[in-house]
Structure 1
Amino acid sequence: MPKNSPVSRRSLLGGALAGGTLAAAGIGSASPAEASVATSATPGRRPGQKTMVDVAFDVHGTVRVGVVGLGNRGSGMSQGWAAVPGAVVTAVCDVRADRVKRTADQLVVQGKTRPAEVTGSTDAFTRLVTRDDVDLVYIATPWEFHYAQGKAALLAGKHVMVELPVATRLEELWDLVNTSERTRRHLMLAENCSYGRNELAMLKMAHDGLFGDVTNGHGGYLHDLRSLLFSDTYYTDSWRRLWHTRSTASFYAMHGLAPIAAAMDINRGDRMTTLRATATEPKGLADYRARFVDRSHPSWNETYINGDLVTCLIDTAQGRVIRAEHDVSSPRPYSRINTLAGTRGTFEDYAGATSGGAGRVYLEPDHGGHTWRDFAPYRAEFDHWLWKKIGDDAANNGGHGGMDYVLQWRTVQLMRTGAAPDIDVYDSAAWCAPVPLSVASLAAGGSPVDFPDFTRGTWAKPRTGLDSRASEMPPVA
């Protein structure tokens, strides 16, 4: 059985508008020189602006959620929000009226009050974020709209949760940080994978010292999306495929990067300092199109420039190395990689047939003989309190194995109890920064670029994040 190590992870630390232009929110328009200059500067705070680190939510008896973007993700998450005790979806918004009606109808079928239906124009979201009956704005639109819509929600006095990435340009990430600090409202990345069961167990094991002094980690997003990228219905207006025609970048590595960063206490005792990127040739989408897509399809007018596999090597202030990968253009099984290693052992997730599809682990002094062991007994011992408490509810109410619901339940609980968020605007900016930083590094031939300190120095202070202590959801009146 697993044994607790005497080494504590903590002791080792020591002390663009909807319908607007893509150029307004894209990353491809920044020249290498602009990107290089932007990576090295830390803008000062304006007078009266101050940190959002450990700033608690005001207590909300009921959390009223407004949802912007009702495609596959937004419509499904609307039902999850409505299922959380003490939360109610009060408004739903999309430029397509049929999606708005469909989502409202689904909530009524669930037995929920029909939300306000906001639609009719490309700037309809501005009417949602200014509503008096919305406390939390959840944004699930295409990437090019995240920054402008997230900022608008903050300026309207709302807390906001944004799907990945919160922004795609460095100046936009800084602007979201500054806007959050000025408005005193939280902006959070909807990083559901940070609440994955294996990821949270790995986090607890790291903080309890089972890996010894953590030295490196490996995460990413390896997902064969080729058939969906060429679908005429899955990604509305082909928005996600079109990003592959605009820039060479690590678009979406956050799902794997964020759990590794949390286990290393990034922004809580360590920080990412430099990033260097590599990219393979862009062959996968063109090859798939040649074999499976009819010549009459509009994609034949497109040229794909994003590398199939974009890899980022990230150094930290404590001397650790993180490898983050992104590949949605190659034939391969799904993986977020999720590997953590240190002086006393290693954990590898997505290990395939060698462990029956579950994670595998090798830890001293428990293991030897160069033989991997099953992760299951360790997960049972180090299972995060959230999964112990609401794991069954998560399985019944949320997608992606339940981690969607865990993210939603925890966010509502934090707002209803008046606690600080597990994932704050600084985490959100740092986890998304490899998008523009990979552009800058690749433009410079793979040279290292500086990683911004969005916390402006607060990163050195250990503090709680996803490694929270057990607490209760307030009863619903």
Structure 2
Amino acid sequence: MQRRHFLSSSSAALGAASLSTLMPTARAAGRERLRLGLIGTGMRGQVLLTELLRRDDVEVVALCDIEPIMLGRALAMVERFKKAKPQTYGESGDKLAYRKLLEQKGLDGVIIATPWELHASMAIDAMNAKVPVGCEVVAGITLQDHWDVLRTQQRTGTPYMLLENVCYRRDVMAVLQMVRAGLFGELVHLQGGYQHDLRAVKFNNGDPNKPYGSGVEFGAKGWSEARWRTEHSVQRNGELYPSHGIGPCAMYANIHRGNRFTHINAFASKARGLNDYISKKMGAKDHPSAKVKFKLGDVVTTTLACENGETIILQHDTSLPRPYSLGFRVQGTDGLWMDLNHSIHIEGISKPHQWEDFKAYQDKFDHPLWKKYAAKAEGAGHGGMDFFVVHAFVEALKANAPMPIDIYDAVAWSAITPLSEQSIAEGFKTLAFPDFTEGLWKTRKPIFAFDDKY
């Protein structure tokens, strides 16, 4: 992993800046066991907690949540795994209780799995406390949030990893192998997105035992994601969840390793899906939720231009009926792959103007990580991806190595959200994309593959 992040020695000044940003703070290398904390024990937090509890090289020593029900469920999980009871924080409802967790002695790292709007401040507090961070996706809300997270990491040198699990999806990683092998020729265009019917996630009846589709409440009367996530659909219009789509595309295009995003614009459709769901699908046309004016367009399309000439399209589609898909497309001078129909076409290999099934290619180019850890990933969340992303964070910490999805990846992928909001608000204006690396992208080495250890 280190070879992917170290700068060439051509610029001493840039090299010093990169090392201070990416190298972990002084910690014992080669540790065999970690003591970790978890901030946020809701439904996503419990998925991540499961992966931590499955490991023999991790001791979960601290849990924090201001919802006693969720904290209790997390403790019950620990007990079922027959692990030592961790210290708990937040039972009193104190929203700053996580700071007490960060003060706990002997903490090797913390995973943040709270609502999006809390990620930046919690990560900043953790890095200031010299506690390495594994943060669930969405690094911040505003553009300033992203700069603040970046500057804190640069100043403290504390490791930070964005826990983007789709980068570890089996077909996505096989395609990464194919891109690196040159099978698609020179890359020209990429697509991805978050296309996932979340209507039943954004509303429920407030019952902790019925979090999905049980009603049309949200906000204070809702539960789980309906309590906080739906408000983003009310107040914001943009690409609200970019990293699932942009993460793999950025890896394919060597973003921050000889390439970068240069421009962005975004368009949003009208907003009809959520009101239709409440009024017609749930039969609650007279409920107050049916009268809410949702700002988020049902389909948001974002386009990015890259320094090396590639274009990338992202689509956010969470308010209309549709089966789950991320809509990946990798296209180059010699062919393309599309995940929606599990198909591939390689000129000179495939029959002219015909698709091939992707399975034979996936088997041939299966990533070493999947070959090595598929059995351990079986049964893990999101088809095994959650095992791999937690594994990567844990193994990088144990080895005192740079994070595979580092601070530059985190802030650039996540900053697509406020930039897309700005573009839409300013009449679909094309904006210059900030260079968070401040020129380091020119000399950082490409990622040829994730390390076969993690």
TM-score over 0.5 (shorter chain): yes
Residue 84 of structure 1 and its aligned partner are, at CA, apart by: 2.6
Q: Secondary structure at the match of 1:66?
A: strand
Structure 2 matches for 1:34-53, cutoff 5 A? 52=20
Residue 50 of structure 1 and its aligned partner are, at CA, apart by: 5.9
Change in 2 beyond 3 A, CA 1:453/1:253: same
CA contact 2:21–2:154 (8 Å) conserved in 1? no
CA contact 2:35–2:106 (8 Å) conserved in 1? yes
Alignment correspondent of 1:155? 128
Of 244, 247, 266, 1:258 maps to: 247
Q: Does 1:395 align with 2:378?
A: yes
1:162 corresponds to which letter in structure 2?
Answer: C
Q: Distance in 2 between matches of 1:67 and 1:466?
A: 32
Alignment correspondent of 2:400? 418
CA contact 2:21–2:157 (8 Å) conserved in 1? no
CA contact 2:102–2:126 (8 Å) conserved in 1? yes
Alignment correspondent of 2:332? 342
Which of 236-245 and 372-381 deviates more? 236-245
Structure 2 matches for 1:10-409, cutoff 5 A? 52=20, 54-56=22-24, 58=27, 59=29, 60-119=31-90, 120=92, 121-233=94-206, 234=211, 235-236=223-224, 238-291=227-280, 292-294=282-284, 297-300=287-290, 302-351=292-341, 359-396=342-379, 398-409=380-391
Aligned residues: 421
- Deviations along 1:119-160, one digit per CA (max 9) or x if unpaired, are 221211111122113221111111111111111111111111
CA contact 1:90–1:133 (8 Å) conserved in 2? no
- Deviations along 1:192-241, one digit per CA (max 9) or x if unpaired, are 00111111111111011001000110000000111221113435352111
Which of 94-103 and 214-223 deviates more? 94-103
1:338 corresponds to which letter in structure 2?
Answer: F
Q: Secondary structure at the match of 1:244?
A: helix
CA contact 1:266–1:272 (8 Å) conserved in 2? yes
Residue 278 of structure 1 and its aligned partner are, at CA, apart by: 0.4
Q: Distance in 2 between matches of 1:110 and 1:333?
A: 34
Change in 2 beyond 3 A, CA 1:432/1:177: same
Q: Distance in 2 between matches of 1:188 and 1:399?
A: 19
Q: Distance in 2 between matches of 1:449 and 1:416?
A: 40
Alignment correspondent of 1:22? none
Q: Distance in 1 between matches of 2:39 and 2:67?
A: 11
2:142 corresponds to which letter in structure 1?
Answer: R
Which of 80-89 and 262-271 deviates more? 80-89
2:148 corresponds to which letter in structure 1?
Answer: D
Change in 2 beyond 3 A, CA 1:466/1:79: farther
CA contact 1:244–1:305 (8 Å) conserved in 2? yes
CA contact 1:63–1:135 (8 Å) conserved in 2? yes
Residue 272 of structure 1 and its aligned partner are, at CA, apart by: 0.5
2:23 corresponds to which letter in structure 1?
Answer: V
Change in 2 beyond 3 A, CA 1:242/1:54: closer
Q: Distance in 2 between matches of 1:200 and 1:127?
A: 38
Change in 2 beyond 3 A, CA 1:298/1:133: farther
Q: Secondary structure at the match of 1:137?
A: strand
Q: Does 1:446 align with 2:428?
A: yes
CA contact 1:105–1:114 (8 Å) conserved in 2? no
Q: Secondary structure at the match of 2:234?
A: coil
Alignment correspondent of 1:469? 451
RMSD over aligned Cα atoms: 2.2
Alignment correspondent of 1:26? none
Which of 413-422 and 337-346 deviates more? 413-422
Q: Distance in 2 between matches of 1:404 and 1:132?
A: 27
Change in 2 beyond 3 A, CA 1:229/1:293: farther
- Name the TM-score, length of structure 1 as normaliser: 0.84
Which of 127-136 and 192-201 deviates more? 127-136
Q: Mark the runs of 5 or more structure 1 residues left unpaired by the alignment.
A: 1-9, 16-44, 352-358, 473-477
1:370 corresponds to which letter in structure 2?
Answer: H
Q: Distance in 1 between matches of 2:269 and 2:448?
A: 34
Percent of aligned positions with the same letter in both sequences?
A: 33
Q: Distance in 1 between matches of 2:197 and 2:319?
A: 6
1:363 corresponds to which letter in structure 2?
Answer: I
Q: Distance in 1 between matches of 2:99 and 2:165?
A: 26
Residue 296 of structure 1 and its aligned partner are, at CA, apart by: 6.5
Alignment correspondent of 1:455? 437
Q: Secondary structure at the match of 1:433?
A: helix
Residue 85 of structure 1 and its aligned partner are, at CA, apart by: 3.7
Residue 280 of structure 1 and its aligned partner are, at CA, apart by: 0.1
Q: Secondary structure at the match of 1:340?
A: strand
Q: Distance in 1 between matches of 2:41 and 2:349?
A: 49
CA contact 2:239–2:420 (8 Å) conserved in 1? yes
Change in 2 beyond 3 A, CA 1:226/1:399: same
Residue 416 of structure 1 and its aligned partner are, at CA, apart by: 1.2
Q: Does 1:430 align with 2:412?
A: yes
Change in 2 beyond 3 A, CA 1:298/1:94: farther
- Name the TM-score, length of structure 2 as normaliser: 0.88
Q: Mark the runs of 5 or more structure 2 residues left unpaired by the alignment.
A: 212-222
Residue 64 of structure 1 and its aligned partner are, at CA, apart by: 1.7
Change in 2 beyond 3 A, CA 1:412/1:367: same
